[in-house]
Amino acid sequence: MFGIWGHNKAAEITYYGLHALQHRGQDGAGIAATDGKDLQVHKGVALVNDVFKHAEFKELTGHAAIGHVRYPTGGKDSIEEVQPFIFHAKSESVAIGHDGNIMNKAILRDELESQGSILQTSTDPEILAHLIRRNGQEVSEVSILQALKKMVGAYAFLILTEDKIYAALGARGIRPLSIGKLGDAYVISSETCAFDIVGATFVREINPGELVTISDEGIQSTRFTEPQKRALCSMEYVYLSRPDSDLNHVNVHASRKSMGIELAKEAPIEADVVTGVPDSSISAAIGYAEEMKLPYEIGIIKNRYIGRTFIQPTQELREQGVKMKLSPVRGIIEGKRVVMIDDSIVRGTTSRRIVKMLKDTGAKEVHVRIASPMITNPCYYGIDMSTRDELIAANHTLEEMRDMIGADSIAYLSPEGLERAIVRDDSLEQGLCKACMTGEYPVTLKDAGIKMNDQY
Ligand code: AMP
Ligand code: SF4
């Protein structure tokens, strides 16, 4: 997500910001902008470049805008699911973009419907819009704060009206959201890499439980919860974020390299060469090689023109995707004992394919080292790992996984190693969510008023 207030090229800058955030979602992109009188939106089910192929952002005039790239965790693959969503009521309009997952959405939806609201979708932004507008209230700091207090889960919201941008982060700060400045304009982004691209400077992260309001009067901050220890998604460091982003003042590349170093300390192996699965595992592979005093080599090449395989909807398409995406470098692999570093294993598809590919290319041995802990629990907070059934590590022993993946050995980083690689001190800001790896959920189903059900 990206937003800007106070710039005469707001939509254009948002377009560049979304470009930098494209890795966060490839299923759709949209920008909503305001000139103070109206809200306009343009969106499509495609990559940012294709949605704004004819520079459509030029028609989105005004001094403020928000933009969103869609990462699907549910719902249909259609334009109705692409954000920002626009809601109109009386003389007022509001555009909403959202990252994360509202866990108690079914309860809130029932509550709203029993009070007479008619919801068109069950998306988190629509529920937020209805909660804000409940009893005919206007969109204001007060009505937004009331609505946010009812929402349990992980969320980062950007809310644009004709005269303000609001940015809110859930009580534990599971998803990232930062504020920057571009001249006199304020910018907000999920990741700091987008600030660098538009020439903005980082100001600070939005705090857990904080609502920031930006308007012509400047910037204001209120809280809707007491400060709690942050539980920033550790998969942001492991896989999701770009290496040039900083989260909680920790650079993502540096943290990945440290994960590789910790992994080498915990699970060394005799080998000839270390290679990483591009792109997200390269930093960890460099760290592992450095600590082991082994050569780091580019043993696998990525075809840049194929999207992230994980995001394909079916297992069959995902498997096909891996084949098209990665190729071995024969001169590096043939006859060698190879350490293959991957950042994570979710369903096991990527590792199995790559080990086979390396062996087919003549690798003497392939040792798989995973630069994050085993993913054994579902994520309730907006990352697409929502059922235990799909997680290979939740259903198999390490030896079974080694066998299924076809590796000569396999080892994962421990949760303590991950913590050491990322966390710098014991301040409130430096807390991590590792729930999918440890089962310790910062926001529980019970907190959200729901019973364990088949969904999880
Ligand atoms: P899998 O093939 O299902 O085991 O998925 C693991 C691969 O997907 C790893 O190589 C990661 O780089 C990548 N990955 C891990 N987590 C995610 C995620 N939440 N969304 C998309 N890709 C991911
Ligand atoms: Fe991230 Fe895992 Fe926590 Fe989900 S459960 S927010 S993927 S660390």
Does the structure show a pLDDT above 70 at 202?
yes
Which of the residue ranges 105-119, 294-308, 309-323, 432-446 would you say has the lowest mean pLDDT?
Answer: 309-323
Residues shown for the chain: 456
- pLDDT for residue 429: 84
Residue 374 CB less than 6 A away from ligand 2: no
Instruction: Work out the pLDDT band at 81, boundaries 50, 70, 90.
Output: confident
> What's the 3-state SS for 3-57?
EEECCCCHHHHHHHHHHHCHHHCCCCEEEEEECCCCEEEEEECCCHHHHCCCCHH
Residues 268, 261: Cα–Cα separation, whole Å: 10
Element (DSSP H or E) covering residue 369: strand 365-370
Q: What pLDDT does residue 249 have?
A: 92
pTM of the model: 0.94
**Whether the CB of 302 sits within 6 Å of ligand 1:** no
The predicted pLDDT at position 134 comes to: 85
pLDDT higher than 70, residue 297: yes
User: 256 or 58, which is more confident?
Assistant: 256
* Ligand 2: residue whose CA is nearest its atom 6: 233
More confident residue, 279 or 234: 234
Name the residue of 240, 383, 456 to mutate for ligand 2: max ligand atoms within 8 A of Cβ.
Answer: 383
Give the residue, out of 172, 238, 239, 381, with the most ligand 2 atoms within 8 A of its beta carbon, to mutate for a pocket test: 381
Residue 124 CA to ligand 1 center (angstroms) comes to 24
Per-residue pLDDT tens over the stretch 129-187? 999 988 778 899 999 999 999 999 999 999 999 999 999 999 999 999 999 999 999 99
| Cα–Cα distance for residue pair 442/208, rounded to 1 Å | 12
Q: Residue range 212-223: average pLDDT? A: 96
Nearest to 26 by CA among 74, 65, 82, 76: 82
Quick check: CB of 391 below 6 Å from ligand 1? no
Q: How many CA atoms lie within 13 A of 275 on its CB side?
A: 31
Torsion of CA 241, 245, 249, 255, to 10 degrees: 60
Q: How far apart (Å, rounded) are the C-alpha atoms in residues 50 and 121?
A: 26
153: three-class secondary structure by DSSP: strand
Q: How far is the CA of 288 from the centre of ligand 2 (A)?
A: 24
Q: Is 386 in the pocket of ligand 2 (CB under 6 A)?
A: no
Give the closest ligand to the alpha carbon of residue 71: 1
Tokens 């799909």 locate to 390
Distance 328 CA to ligand 1 centre (A): 19
DSSP per residue over 72-95, as a string? -SSS-SSGGGSSPEEEEETTEEEE
The 10s digit of each residue's pLDDT in 378-402 is: 999 999 887 899 899 999 999 999 9
Q: What's the pLDDT at 426? A: 85
Query: Would the CA dihedral through 111, 114, 117, 120 be positive or negative?
Result: positive
Quickly state the pLDDT bin for 456 (edges 50, 70, 90).
Answer: low
Q: Is the dihedral of CA 129, 131, 132, 137 positive or negative?
A: positive
CA distance 260 to 340: 11
Distance CA 126, CA 241 (A): 27
Task: Give yes or no for residue 312 having a pLDDT over 60.
Answer: no
Nearest to 379 by CA among 233, 259, 281: 233
* Residue-level pLDDT at 454: 47
- Burial class for 101, CB neighbours closer than 10 Å (0-12, 13-18, 19+): buried
**Residue 378 CA: which ligand 2 atom is closest?**
5
Which of 175, 350, 368, 369 to mutate for ligand 1's pocket (most ligand atoms within 8 Å of CB)?
A: 350
Confidence at 313, pLDDT banded by 50, 70, 90: low
Half-sphere exposure in the Cβ direction for 105 (13 Å, CA):
20
